[in-house]
Structures are given as C-alpha cells and as structure tokens.
Structure 1
Amino acid sequence: MKFAKRMEQFGEGIFSRLQEIKRNKLALGEPVIDLSVGTPNIPPAGHITDALCKAAAEPGNYIYAVNDQTKLLEAVGEWYKTRYGVQLDPKTEICSLLGSQEGLAHISLSIVDEGDLVLVPDPCYPVFADGPLLAGAELYYMPQKEEHGYVIRLEDIPEDVAKRAKFMIVSYPNNPTAALAPDSFYRDLIAFAKKYDIIVLHDNAYSELVFDGKACGSFLSFPGAMDVGVEFNSLSKTYGLAGARIGFCLGNREVVSALKTLKSNMDYGMFLPLQRAAIAAITGDQTCVQEVRGIYEERRNILCEGLSALGWHMDKPEATMFVWARIPAHYGSSEGFAMELVSKAGVLVTPGSAFGPSGEGYVRLALVQDNEALRRAVKLVEESGILR
C-alpha cells in the first residue's frame, strides 16, 4: 500500500500520545490527574440540555440538516450584535462549523493553493499549523514571546514574507499562552492585512473566559476587520458543549461563502438537535456563562498559588482555561519534564514543544479538574520531589 506524501509531515498527535501514557498508568493501578487536554468537565446548563433532549426525541430531526436553519443563523447574528456589538448578515456572513477544529482544519483548503505562504502564531494550537499544511501551504511562524506579553509583533515580519503571505491565523485570548492582545494590536493587524492583501482568521474561542474583572470583545468589532477576514467562535468551553462540536465562522462574506461551498462538498451540516441546543445556549439565560468563568478563575487561583508556593512560579493567566508555565530551571526540555512529572507525581500536562518551536521550555496546564483534584495535584507534585 502507498499513502499520501503529505502524511509524512504528521506524526501521532501529542494528545493521543498523552492519553496512551494515561491509560498505561491507570492499567497499572496508578492514579493520574490529567491536566493535559482542554476537555471541559463543567456540563451545559439545564436549559441547553433540555432543548437538546427535546429535539433529539423528535423523529423528524434525524434527517440530513444540509444547511444551517434560519433560526440558528438569526440567533447567532443577534448574539454577535448583543454580546460584541457586531452587525452581521445571517444569510451571507455566518457559517456553522462542526466544532472550531473542523473549520480550522478545512478553511485553508478554500483559501490557499499548494506552495502558498500562511502566517501562523508560535506557539500555537496545533491545528492552526496542521490545517494549512494539509492544504500544501508553506508556514511562516510569528513568534509570541514572553517579553512582549506573548503578542505577535507584526513589524518583525520580513517585508518579503508579508508580500508572499496569502492567509494568517491569530488568536487572543490565546491558546496556549493565555495572553490577551491590546486594542492597538487589532488596529495594526487590520492595517497590515490591508497593506499586504492578506486574509485574516481570528480564533475567539475564549472570549468569555477572561478573569479579574477584565473583558474581551471581537476582532470583527474593529473598523475594517470585515474587509480583511473572519472570526471563529465556539460554544465548547463557554457553554460546556465541547463534545457536541458547535462552532461558527463569521465575517467577510467572500471568505464565508468559499467555506460554505467547500463544506457543502464535505458534510451534511450540523445535527438538527445540536442546532436547537446552540440556539438555546446563545439566546437563553447567560448566568451560566458567569458561573463558568467564576469556576475557571477559582481553579486558576488554586493551581497557580499552590504550585508557586512550592517554588514552581507561574503567573496567573488573564484568560482562557489554561496556565502557561516555564519548566523548572534544572530541566532541559519541556517533554522531558512533562514525562517525569507524570511518572513521579502522576500529574499529566502538555509539553510546550507540542505547540511549535517557541513552546520549548514551557508546559501547558489545563484547568479541567475540580478544586479538590487540583489541590491533590499540588500535593502530589510536592511529595514527588520533582521541583528540588
């Protein structure tokens, strides 16, 4: 058998490898506290699951959806107007995704040709780079450095690279670094994209998980953003619907139209009961959003304060459900530290090297366990002696 050469660029995903380590330890009867994969353990609010269950009980909802229901598109449009102050045409400027990951994996196929250049952040969520690679693109990594608050410095991108670039992906609040970007970054980003005729994709999956009284808006709310690009948003983390796979592409109608055309040749749309659940989530009582934010902020405090007290200093993130931390100074690699951490302490984290070249020297910890488990993780790290 012969397989596609493009697969030579991909190994087994880091999260699959981490889960295999977890399974092996559990099989030996050894406990593991998993802080690696960003899988929320906070369930959806009752009004969301009620809408899903009611729709799932209707026999007529098991046909192909094919297209997004008008009610869904109108609800998303109203959500963006109310929450972000962004006016969208539901018919032409909104497209559902079977989760943001699906959209991120496929949108490059509708924009770039083989050999085109795509700008991606570094470190970045793996599919930001994997999607363009699947489309045959060449990557240019835009460093997100600690000394610059993990915000991309557009002025550091070489002129010849900017002129070649066709597409760029950015994301704030950022996964994995948990950084926020100032308003000035978005104004500069739009000017940069217009100057070099680059399509922008902004991933905004964590806009509701912002802490300490701060707030986050939408890339599309800045003047000129709709001229140059789109935004992805997701109900996975905010509403506890990660497994349901509900996301949206919103913004520039040409980009949205191209993605819709591509998807019409790849899938049959979102399961109708999930469309009903999405409507219930974004139009219903938003108290659940505040509650989820509060839960993650409390978890952040427990983990960061607990580990910092042991001598593993880490700044409290301003946003997201992740902590991005430098590895202890006496370790030479992020993967080596992560493997020893799970081996000695039974605490599983993701090595920063999984997120690109600039991720080396860091690990990402996901706030996906309850308070008791996080306190236990701190205790296990202390007892393991790994920080000494």
Structure 2
Amino acid sequence: LLGSKEGIMHICMTYLNEGDQVLIPNPGYPTYTSAVKLAGGTPLYYELTAENSWAPDFENLEKSDLSKVKLMWVNYPHMPTGQSPTKALFEQLVAFGKKHQILICHDNPYAFILNNQPESLLSIEGAKEVVIELNSLSKSQNMAGWRVGMLIAAEDRINEILRFKSNMDSGMFLPVQLAAAKALSLDASWYESVNKIYTARREKVFELLDVLKCAYSKQQVGMFVWAKIPATFKDGYALSDKVLYEANVFITPGGIFGAAGNEYIRVSLCGSLEKFSEAIKRIEACV
C-alpha cells in the first residue's frame, strides 16, 4: 500500500455499496468516517468509555440492528486513547465478526510504539475468516511521508481489494520498497532505541499535563497521550483554545475524534524534549 491510510479507502470502496452500514469507534480516527461516506456507506458509531477500558460494549452492540452492517473498524493500540488490546478483546472481536458476518478491519499502526507486547488480531484462531489488518512503517520505522503500508488478510480478501487498488495506482517507487525492506530487517534494538526517545518525551508530556491538572493513565501506549481535562473547563476545545491563544501552544481537543472525546485532550509525542520544555514554560506562565 502507498500508506495504510490508502488501505482504509481501498477497503471501503471494495466492500461497501450505497446503504451499507459500518461500525466506527467513538472516539476514533476521523478517516474511518470520511472513507465510509465517500464509498456511499453509512457510519454507525459505537461508544468507547474509560470505564470499559476503551473496548466495544458487545452487549450493547448485540441489541442493535446489525443486518446492514458490512464492516467494523477497530484500532488497538487505540488512537487517541492509547489503550492496549487484550487477547480476550481480540477473541470477542473475531467471534462477533463471525456471528454477524461482519468484516473486522483492524488498523494497527501503533503496535510497536511504547508497547512491550505487539499483537496482531490475525493471531487469534479463525481470525483470517473475518479479519483484515492494516499496518504502516510511518510510525514504527520513522518513515512518515514515504507512504509505505501493508494489508494482511486471507488470499481471497487481498485479491478482492487488489481489483480496486490496481485501478488506482501502478505500484510503489522501487527505491522506497528497498528502503522499506531494509527497515523491516532491523532487529529489536531498533525499536528499543526509538522507544527510549518516546519514553523520555512521554515523561515531559506527563509533566505538561500535571501543570494543566489533567488526569491520565501512565499505561498508555502509542505516539500520543490521552488525558481528561479538569472540571474547570467546559470541554477539550475550551482548554485547547486557552492554551493556544494565551501560551501559543497547540494541543488537540479530544472532541475531534468524536463526541465521546469531548472531555479529553490528546498530546502528540512527535515533538522534541526542547519543545516540550518550552511548552511547559509557556503554559505555566498562563495558568
């Protein structure tokens, strides 16, 4: 794939027709909604909550009319919440897909970032019958902008998607493919070195969030930190606006990932330690 984001669109265009429905997490990556709508499908949002460890409420989903649902988008480690998956959750997803003949589309680009146990949904017995998984070199191999992603599924599924993809592009530039192959051959020390940097940045982000009096879990994984705002702010947008206009620091309001994220903010770990230190200094001056 020319990036895993392209894969989201390819899957939707391959499997959706006008009127088909798709289960999408709230909060979740906004591109799922965009791709579904562009393909003529209708988004059905399932809410994730901290109380349920940011996992789908299968009991509640079973009460819904799922007769028109063709796909279900899931993403663990989850963006924006940083929630890791469990084997039990993965088993539930596969069982749910089989029971309702729903294709489970697992977007898995954060598996190797600050995560000691990278997992694939396809590791679950029988998953290949109902699962398509996406991954990307943008995060794990620091190749953002090179646009290298992958789609893993049963052979029949891959061939179905290739029928669409082959009419969209003519392949990837060979030197990029060779660079990607080299990147994928690196051993565990590569991930350890990258995660050492992200760990130091995350500590700085925790410091920043403490200044803002936000609540957060230190068990999060992935490239972002998700935090609940203090009660003194109406929502994440209000906090983001205050910090932006008074401290010239941008923090992503959680509401852009869905209404279930309104009481949260998300901070990226892509900045340098120096930038985080400067951000802390500016925020301290305005709060």
Report the Cα distance in structure 2 between the residues aligned to 1:136 and 1:158, rounded to whole angstroms: 24
Q: Give the superposed CA RMSD.
A: 1.5
* CA distance in 2 between partners of 1:381 and 1:180 (Å): 30
Q: 1:320 aligns with which of 215, 219, 222?
A: 222
Q: Aligned residue for 1:165?
A: 69
**1:102 aligned partner:** 6
Q: In the aligned structure 2, how far is the partner of 1:353 from the partner of 1:312?
A: 16
Runs (4 or more) in structure 1 with deviation over 6 Å come to none
Q: Summarize the Cα distance change of 1:164–1:372 in structure 2 as closer, same or farther, 3 Å threshold.
A: same
In structure 1, runs of 5+ residues without a counterpart are: 1-96
Equivalents in 1 of 2:9, 2:200: separation in Å? 33
Report 1:143-162 matches (<5 A).
Answer: 143-162=47-66
Query: What SS does the aligned partner of 1:163 have?
Result: coil
**SS of residue paired to 2:23:** strand
Cα shift at 1:285: 4.0
In structure 2, the partner of 1:303 is: 205
Whether the aligned pair in 2 keeps the contact of 1:173 and 1:207 (CA below 8 Å) is yes
Contact 2:247 2:286 in 1 (8 A): yes
Give the 3-state SS of the residue equivalent to 1:347 in structure 2: coil
**Other structure's SS at 2:231 match:** coil
Counterpart of 2:268? Answer: 366
The answer to which of 157-166 and 182-191 deviates more is 157-166
User: With CA pairs under 8 Å and 6+ residues apart, which has the higher RCO, 1 or 2?
Assistant: 1
Deviations 1:137-167 (A, max 9, x none): 1111111101111111222114443332111
In 2, the alpha carbon distance for the partners of 1:199 and 1:352 equals 28
CA distance in 2, matches of 1:102, 1:311: 38
Partner residue in 1 for 2:153: 251
Deviations 1:50-89 (A, max 9, x none): xxxxxxxxxxxxxxxxxxxxxxxxxxxxxxxxxxxxxxxx
Is the Cα–Cα contact under 8 Å of residues 228 and 264 in structure 2 kept in the other structure? yes
TM-score, scaled relative to structure 2:
0.95
| Partners of 1:303 and 1:375 within 8 A in 2 | no
Cα distance between partner residues in 2 of 1:113 and 1:252: 22
1:337 deviates by: 2.1
- Number of aligned residue pairs: 287
Match of 2:106 in 1: 202
Please, which moves more after superposition, 325-334 or 357-366? 325-334
Report how far residue 244 of structure 1 moved. 0.2
Structure 2 unaligned spans of 5+: none
Q: Give the one of 286, 293, 300 matched to 2:195.
A: 293
> Do 2:83 and 2:220's aligned partners in 1 also have CA atoms closer than 8 Å?
yes
Q: What TM-score results when the alignment is normalised by the length of structure 1?
A: 0.71
Aligned to 1:330: 232
Asked if the contact 2:121–2:133 (Cα under 8 Å) also holds between the matched residues in 1, the reply is yes
User: Are 1:111 and 2:15 an aligned pair?
Assistant: yes
**What's the counterpart of residue 118 of structure 2?**
216
